[in-house]
Amino acid sequence: MSRTFKLGVLAAAVMAAAPAVQAYEAGDFIGRVGVVTVDPDSSSSNLNSNALGELDGAKVSVDSNTQLGLTVSYMFTDQIALGILGATPFKHNIEGDGSILGGAGKLAETKQLPPTITLQYFPMPSGSKFQPYVGVGVNYTNFFEEKTTQTLTDTYATLASGVDRTDIELDDSFGLAAEIGLDYMVTDNIGVNAAIWYADIDTEATINAYAGNTKADTSTIDVDIDPWVYMVGLSYKF
């Protein structure tokens, strides 16, 4: 998705005037469900091999993925809330980039869960059916089910004779997160929602290459994923 989505999707959520409804008050829970896309703004260091040293131009990038998203806000006051973002697991391809690996295609894949907690501020009065908000907080990203492809193994085989198998592991990440969003209440309890997050997600990937049962090489590469996260859905006030 284009980053012009940041403003466009928020503006699209503004609906025609409806009868006044009582929106958010202290003690309310607001649940939201919808489609959420993680769109990495990724970059990486060069691959650093124990056997071969740093390989200038051996870089990677991470593609986007869309899943079912769920958020919950608890209103401490009429204007301050705690927000939690969750989703079904995202699956990302890790692809070759740079002068050496660029064009190589898919080298590995991983799944990840990015639970994010933010302190949210709702500037509008509690009776407003239009409720924009901003938030800042922290993100924890758990990577799991990492797999390499035959393409990566074949690439290693050209650099180190006899390599016939590879694996990969990504470190989990803690980082800052920020969000902007809005709810538009259609009835006393039901509304529409659109939101955008930015998360600081950095990981170190460790790649092992094997020749038979012998570990031929261990390499590391630092990856900055730093995604924009977009969500559109429905909200419900409890």
Contacts of 104 (CB under 8 A, 6+ apart): 95, 96, 151, 155
Q: What is the residue-averaged pLDDT of the chain? A: 90
The region that residue 53 occupies, defined by phi over 0 for left and psi between -120 and 50 for alpha, beta otherwise, is left
The structure's pTM equals: 0.85
Instruction: Give the whole-angstrom CA distance, residue 150 versus residue 4.
Output: 37
CATH number of the domain residue 80 falls in: 2.40.160.20
Q: Is residue 155 scored above 70 in pLDDT?
A: yes
Q: Is the pLDDT score of 219 beyond 60?
A: yes
pLDDT of residue 52: 85
Domain that holds residue 174: 5-237
| Mean pLDDT to the nearest integer, 42-68 | 94
In the chain, the number of structural domains is: 1
Cα angle vertex 100, ends 95, 106, to 5°? 20
Q: Which of 22-26, 70-74, 139-143 has the lowest average pLDDT?
A: 22-26
> Lowest-confidence range among 3-7, 37-41, 158-162, 185-189?
3-7
E strand segments, the chain = 29-40, 43-44, 47-49, 53-55, 59-62, 65-75, 80-87, 90-97, 106-113, 116-121, 130-148, 165-170, 173-185, 190-199, 202-211, 214-224, 227-237
pLDDT band at 158 (very low <50, low <70, confident <90, very high): confident
pLDDT digit string (tens) for 164-191? 999 999 999 999 999 999 999 999 899 9
Please give the full DSSP string across 187-222, using - where no structure is assigned: SSSEEEEEEEEEE--EEEEEEEEEETTEEEEEEEEE
